[in-house]
Structure formats: structure tokens, C-alpha cells
């Protein structure tokens, strides 16, 4: 605590003390005026005189009058002593009250200065965290739990550091996905050219076999047809590569997530046989900035994964929207068998799948996450067990978008 602050505190203490003393003097001198009013003594003098006179007039009641006389006389003497010491008693009273005030004020000042010292120490600690934040450190825990100004600043540092960490993770994920996208694009390109040529040659071969009409024509036709089927499967895979490589930037628009999910459930309600889409729209609306086509694609991917996991057994995908802190959350939970434990560590990486070869390349969740990251949000696995799996789509609330 600086000497300047101590000096100011002491100055305030002295000023408050003097002011108190001044105003107290105005009050305390008055209450002492009550018992020392001259009229009290005058009345007592009358009583004393009356009792003495009455005793003479009623000699048989002299003792009674004498007793009253003595009582009045005693009170008269006491009041006289009080009158004689009026100034001293008033001063003493002022001194006591002032001492109490000064004691309390001194205690408050000491507590204030101690508080200042503690706040200085806390600020110095926060300075270290601020330097760490400036150095790019994420997920800082200051350990501040108080709700005062410094506590709130500490909270802001923690929040900012969390945002820094979040952005860094998002950037890392996006870079990671971008490298996978680049690889997919190159692979698709490298495969597509010879694939097209091979398909054209195979189709020409099929025409030649059909027109030559030889004895082994049927056998050749079957072989060529088989080659064409394999090439078609290869094209589908290539298309999947291409779609991953071509995930573009979202075309943002203001929309109500509640309406989007409602429409999705109506449109795709019977798209996955055996799987029911359930959504109870809340009363309030949930405005977000999003690309509706992309979000629909994410929901389709999640539903497709759930339907594949259900593997024909009846089930349901339930949607729920709620607000948490500065985000809008859309939970998509199925009642499927859950995700295999070995996949969980790389769940959102491309080609992470437990499906058999030829049943999918495991790009759906990677694409979906990239879409949400491009929305400044995230796609998270909330829970998975044998009772089902829940994903959470996180959307930031647009500025001024709170209801």
C-alpha cells in the first residue's frame, strides 16, 4: 500500500473525526440542558418551602412533610451538583462518544488499508496471469473466487484464456481437417482421371463384345459388367472424397434454430426406416447465425450414423434446444448401441469408422465438425453408452441475439 493512500486514509479519518466532534458538540450540550433547567430547581424550591409551611400548619403530619421535604431537598442538592459539573459531564460524554467513533473509524481505516494491501497482492498475482495470457497461454486458472472487482477481472482473464484455448483448438482442428481435405482432393483428382478413362474403355469393350457376338460373348459381357460395377463403386468413393474436399464456407443468415429443426423433422421424418425423429419445440425462439443447408447436412450425417448403428432395429433420434452461457445448444440423442470405445479418441478425425470396408469411409463426423467449427461453434460428443449416444451442436449467440 502506497504512503499516499495511507496519508489519504488518515486525512479522511482526521477530517471525519473533527466533523463528528463538531456536530456532536451541537447535540450533546442540549441533552444536559434538560436536567439542569432552572425551572426544575425552582419547582423543587417551591416544594421544599411548601412542605415546611405545611409542617407548621399540620404539626401532626410533620414527620410526613419532613420526609417529603428531605426527598425534595436531596434531589435539589443533586441537581445543583449536576449543574455545577454540567460542562465537565458534557465534555466527558463527548469524549466517550468521540473515542468510540474514533475507535470504530480507526478499525475501519485499518481494515480498509489491510484490504488495499491484500488487493495490491491480488493485482500483482493477476499481473502474472495477464502476462501469461499475453504470451498465449490458454485455460488459465487464477484461483480467484471472490465476486469483487478484482475477482471479476480474474474471471475475465480466465474466460479470455478459455476463449484463446478454444480458438487455438478450433484452429488446430481446422488445419488438421484442411490437410485431410487437401489429401482427399489430390487422391480424388488422381483417381478420377484414370477412373474415367478406364470406365470409358470398359464401356467401349462392352459395346465391342455385344457387337462381335462370339461364342464367349456372354462370359465377356459378364466380366465387363463386373468391371463396370467395381468402377462405379470406385466412383462413389471418389465422390465421397470430393465432397469432403469441397466442404465450403457457410453462407450465414439469421435463422431460428427451433424452426430449422422442426422443418428437418417434418422433411426427413421418414427418411430412415425404423428410426423416428422426435422434437418438442420450446416456446421461445433460438436465433443463430448459420448456413441452414450445412446444418441440415450435419443433422443428416448424425441421423445416418444413428440409423446405421441401429441396424434395422426400431429407435429414435431426439432433438432438444437450450441456452447455456453465451451459446445455443442443440442436443441430438439416439437410443442406439453407442460408439465403440476404440474409436472415441479419434471420433472426429476423417476415416475413423468401425464399419466394414465398402460401407462408408468415416467422413461424416469430420465434415460435420468442420461445418460447426466454421460456424464459430463446435460439435461435441456429449455421452455414449449402450443406452445411446448424444451429440451436441454448439452455436454462438449472435450479438444482440439474446431474447
Partner 1 sequence: VILAVLLLVGELSDGTQPGLQASPRANWEEAKLRVRIPSQVLLDAEVRRVLQSGLTVTFLFEFAIPRARLEEHARLEVRYEPWDETYLVSLLSEGERRSETLASFEAFVRWWETLRWTVSSAPPLVSAGRAELKITVSVVPFSATEERDARHWFAQSIEEPRDLGSPPAAGGPGAQSTRDDMLGALITTAIKRRALRTFRWTVIIPDQERR
236's enclosing H/E stretch is helix 217-245
Q: Residue 93 or 237: which CB sits closer to partner 1?
A: 93
Rg (CA), the chain: 45
Check residue 297 for interaction with partner 1 (CB under 8 A). Answer: no
Copy the grid coordinates of residue 320: 432438444
Binding partner 1 (rule: CB under 8 A), the pick from 28, 68, 69, 305 is 69
Q: Which of 401, 394, 372 is nearest to 322 (CA)?
A: 394
Residues 366/350, Cβ–Cβ less than 8 Å: yes
Binding partner 1 (rule: CB under 8 A), the pick from 1, 9, 89, 195 is 89
Q: Which of 240, 229, 227 is nearest to 191 (CA)?
A: 240
Q: Which of 172, 141, 147 is nearest to 159 (CA)?
A: 141
Check residue 80 for interaction with partner 1 (CB under 8 A). Answer: yes
Q: How far apart are CA 270 and CA 302, in angstroms?
A: 15
Residues 320/330, Cβ–Cβ less than 8 Å: yes
Residue range at the interface with partner 1 (CB under 8 A); choices 72-80, 270-278, 288-296, 351-359: 72-80
By CB under 8 A, what part of segment 7-46 binds partner 1?
35
Cβ at position 42, least distance to partner 1 in Å: 13
Check residue 48 for interaction with partner 1 (CB under 8 A). Answer: yes
Cβ at position 45, least distance to partner 1 in Å: 9
Check residue 96 for interaction with partner 1 (CB under 8 A). Answer: yes
Binding partner 1 (rule: CB under 8 A), the pick from 4, 22, 57, 88 is 88
By CB under 8 A, what part of segment 188-227 binds partner 1?
none
275's enclosing H/E stretch is strand 275-279
Q: Residue 85 or 304: which CB sits closer to partner 1?
A: 85
Check residue 243 for interaction with partner 1 (CB under 8 A). Answer: no
Check residue 124 for interaction with partner 1 (CB under 8 A). Answer: no
Count of residues that bind partner 1 according to CB under 8 A: 21
Check residue 402 for interaction with partner 1 (CB under 8 A). Answer: no
Binding partner 1 (rule: CB under 8 A), the pick from 25, 71, 76, 170 is 76
Q: How far apart are CA 395 and CA 327, in angstroms?
A: 6
Binding partner 1 (rule: CB under 8 A), the pick from 5, 25, 66, 166 is 66
Cβ at position 17, least distance to partner 1 in Å: 19
Cβ at position 14, least distance to partner 1 in Å: 24
Report residue 159: phi and psi, to 5°: -65, -45
Residue range at the interface with partner 1 (CB under 8 A); choices 83-91, 122-130, 174-182, 343-351: 83-91
Q: Which of 270, 279, 275 is nearest to 305 (CA)?
A: 275
Q: Which of 299, 308, 333 is nearest to 318 (CA)?
A: 333
DSSP class of residue 324? Answer: E
Q: Residue 41 or 199: which CB sits closer to partner 1?
A: 41
Report residue 94: phi and psi, to 5°: -60, -40
Report residue 232: phi and psi, to 5°: -65, -40
Cβ at position 111, least distance to partner 1 in Å: 22
CB within 8 A of 228, min separation 6: which ones? 199, 202, 203, 206
Binding partner 1 (rule: CB under 8 A), the pick from 42, 82, 121, 278 is 82
In the block, which residue shows the cell 489491510?
114
Binding partner 1 (rule: CB under 8 A), the pick from 20, 93, 98, 268 is 93
Residue range at the interface with partner 1 (CB under 8 A); choices 1-9, 65-73, 248-256, 395-403: 65-73
Q: How far apart are CA 112 and CA 98, in angstroms?
A: 20
Residue range at the interface with partner 1 (CB under 8 A); choices 89-97, 192-200, 264-272, 315-323: 89-97
Summarize as ranges the residues that interact with partner 1 (CB under 8 A). 35, 48, 52, 66, 69, 73-74, 76-78, 80-82, 84-85, 88-89, 91-93, 96
Amino acid at each position: 500500500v502506497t504512503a499516499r493512500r495511507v496519508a489519504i486514509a488518515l486525512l479522511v479519518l482526521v477530517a471525519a473525526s473533527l466533523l463528528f466532534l463538531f456536530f456532536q458538540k451541537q447535540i450533546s450540550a442540549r441533552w444536559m440542558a434538560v436536567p439542569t433547567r432552572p425551572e426544575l430547581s425552582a419547582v423543587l424550591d417551591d416544594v421544599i418551602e411548601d412542605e415546611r409551611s405545611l409542617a407548621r400548619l399540620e404539626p401532626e403530619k410533620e414527620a410526613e412533610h419532613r420526609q417529603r421535604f428531605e426527598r425534595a431537598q436531596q434531589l435539589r442538592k443533586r441537581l445543583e451538583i449536576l449543574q455545577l459539573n454540567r460542562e465537565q459531564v458534557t465534555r466527558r460524554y463527548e469524549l466517550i462518544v468521540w473515542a468510540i467513533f474514533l475507535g470504530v473509524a480507526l478499525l475501519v481505516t485499518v481494515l480498509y488499508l489491510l484490504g488495499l494491501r491484500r488487493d495490491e497482492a491480488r493485482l500483482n498475482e493477476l499481473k502474472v496471469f495477464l502476462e501469461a495470457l499475453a504470451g498465449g497461454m490458454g485455460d488459465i486458472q487464477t484461483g480467484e473466487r471472490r465476486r469483487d472487482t478484482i475477482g471479476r477481472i480474474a474471471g475475465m482473464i480466465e474466460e479470455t484464456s478459455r476463449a484463446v484455448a478454444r480458438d487455438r483448438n478450433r484452429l488446430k482442428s481446422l488445419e488438421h481437417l484442411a490437410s485431410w481435405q487437401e489429401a482427399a482432393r489430390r487422391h480424388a483428382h488422381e483417381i478420377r482421371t484414370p477412373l474415367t478413362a478406364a470406365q470409358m474403355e470398359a464401356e467401349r469393350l462392352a459395346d465391342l463384345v455385344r457387337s462381335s457376338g462370339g461364342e464367349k460373348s456372354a462370359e465377356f459381357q459378364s466380366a465387363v459388367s463386373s468391371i463396370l460395377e467395381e468402377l462405379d463403386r470406385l466412383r462413389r468413393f471418389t465422390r465421397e472424397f470430393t465432397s469432403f474436399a469441397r466442404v465450403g464456407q457457410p453462407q450465414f443468415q439469421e435463422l431460428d434454430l427451433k424452426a430449422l429443426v422442426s422443418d428437418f423433422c417434418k422433411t426427413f421424418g421418414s427418411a430412415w426406416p425404423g428410426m423416428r425423429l422426435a422434437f418438442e419445440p420450446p416456446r421461445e425462439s433460438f436465433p443463430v447465425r448459420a448456413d441452414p443447408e450445412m446444418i441440415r447436412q450435419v443433422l443428416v450425417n448424425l441421423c445416418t450414423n444413428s440409423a446405421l448403428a441401429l441396424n434395422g432395429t426400431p429407435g429414435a433420434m431426439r432433438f432438444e434446444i437450450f441456452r447455456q452461457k453465451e451459446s445455443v445448444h442443440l442436443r441430438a440423442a439416439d437410443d442406439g448401441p453407442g460408439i465403440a470405445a476404440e474409436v472415441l479418441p479419434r471420433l472426429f478425425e476423417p476415416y475413423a469408422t468401425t464399419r466394414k470396408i465398402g460401407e462408408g469411409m468415416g467422413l461424416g463426423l469430420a465434415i460435420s465438425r468442420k461445418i460447426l467449427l466454421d460456424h464459430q461453434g463446435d460439435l461435441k460428443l456429449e455421452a455414449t453408452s449402450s443406452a445411446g449416444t448424444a451429440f451436441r451442436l454448439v452455436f454462438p449467440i449472435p450479438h444482440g441475439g439474446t431474447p
